[in-house]
Amino acid sequence: MLIEQILKTKGGAVQTIEASRTLAEAAQMLDDARIGAVVAMTDGGLAGVLSERDILRQVARHGAGALEMSVEESMTRGVITANPGETIDQCLGRMTDRRVRHLPIMREGRLVGIISIGDLVKWKIEETRAEADAMVDYIKGG
């Protein structure tokens, strides 16, 4: 299954935040949207990904004052991305190898969606279940 199919079902809406915003603003956005990561943007486009873990690390290191730090100071740079034509297995492999939980989806240099490892596992389970059901139907019918 292709990532494009997941985005058609899930939708392409992506929560973004300006990299100059504070961690407090980012934390509020994450809480409001009930998500684990947000894509940081600058005028030049995709700048990084900020996760709950990134915020927590800064608070652990700097105390409550960390919440006044900018997203840019805390985000993961050099973001690993995917494109809509890739498969679930390709993306799962990349996420596992690079130890990331979120992949922004890019098409021709534009952000068109985001997937989490949870999204991919859910689809992989459904795909496996459908294959098993098809096999049972084949065996029963044969």
The whole-number pLDDT of residue 29 equals 97
The whole-number pLDDT of residue 85 equals 96
pLDDT, block means (10 residues), the chain with 142 residues: 92 93 98 95 93 96 97 94 95 94 94 93 88 86 70
The whole-number pLDDT of residue 44 equals 81
Phi, psi of 98 (to 5 degrees): -95, 0
- For each of the domains in the chain, give its residue range(s) and CATH number, in order of start: 3-141 (3.10.580.10)
